[in-house]
Structure 1
């Protein structure tokens, strides 16, 4: 448990081949079902304070209460994902903390000296997220994510689907969010 952010809710993996990564998690790790979004539509995305036209695919599944996120960037737009891959790494890139009081958590992190590496929004104001630049220690970039709206309900649906999952429908395509 972090004194600043609370409990880790998600581990995020930045990978080059999302289909191969899902197959690994399904067939080797036994984790699923995966909720897959081929091209996530962001309301906005900023990398180091500048707008970026990042394109990415995302897959989400749970292992117990911990959500696993797979991210494959589909273009060369500036992002912390691209920086991570360009440095020769692939795998665990961030830990995410979820909040229903996003703005307070965001402001607190900034007041403690955290710097935003990239941030964006998906599906309206209650879909905000920010990644703080802590890459000096690989695999520990900190993300905060607003779960006060529809995203929180979606994440709960994913968690419930994993309970007692029998291996059927291992990949479930999700339309435009």
Structure 2
């Protein structure tokens, strides 16, 4: 039994809109929903406060959500742990878990360090675990709360009838 299936794959890019449009054109994915400057009330990089201003584009590609994320500010982050400014590449997989605190403890007990702990303004928390040495990427964890599962459903449902028009759309999170 798979406890935590991969729900999303994510790439760090320099321009989420251009990356989403290119992916759509090549693979037919989308539509993509872009959230600019996602507000965070708390952000810790490896246990220390570190502001993070990021923008993400979310779209559906078959059974998986695709995320393109760009870091808009300078400074350390789970993104900069893998890529210097200007570099792009595959960054993380995301898992929806039943209990974030319990899963964080399980991953820590297995020797995987926490690279990011963040909370959005509404208190929704997510974690980035450093799985690079073992698996080649970061692993994002978040609980399957209705706001999150509803967002995933909205992106998936938009893809079901997607005719290719308006492939990159702006939304607001938090």
Runs of 4+, deviation exceeding 3 Å: none
1:139-173 CA-to-partner distances (Å, cap 9, x unmatched) read 42111122213122111111111113111221121
Cα distance in 1 between the residues matched to 2:109 and 2:146: 25
Matched, 1:135 2:132: yes
**Map of 1:17-36 to 2, 5 A cutoff?**
17-36=15-34
Per the TM alignment, residue 88 of structure 1 is displaced from its structure 2 partner at its CA by 7.7
TM-score, normalization by structure 2: 0.90
**Map of 1:70-85 to 2, 5 A cutoff?**
70-85=68-83
Cα distance in 1 between the residues matched to 2:54 and 2:81: 14
Matched, 1:168 2:165: yes
**Map of 1:72-151 to 2, 5 A cutoff?**
72-86=70-84, 89-125=87-123, 127-136=124-133, 139-151=136-148
Cα distance in 2 between the residues matched to 1:85 and 1:35: 24
1:101-134 CA-to-partner distances (Å, cap 9, x unmatched) read 2222222212222210112122433x21111112
- Number of residue pairs matched? 174
TM-score, normalization by structure 1: 0.88
Q: Structure 1 stretch 23-32 or stretch 84-93: which is displaced more?
A: 84-93
Unaligned ranges ≥5, structure 2: none
Cα distance in 2 between the residues matched to 1:171 and 1:69: 12
Structure 2 counterpart SS, 1:136: helix
1:3-42 CA-to-partner distances (Å, cap 9, x unmatched) read xx52111101001122220121121121111010111111
Cα distance in 1 between the residues matched to 2:15 and 2:116: 22
Cα distance in 2 between the residues matched to 1:85 and 1:6: 26
Residue in 2 aligned with 1:45? 43
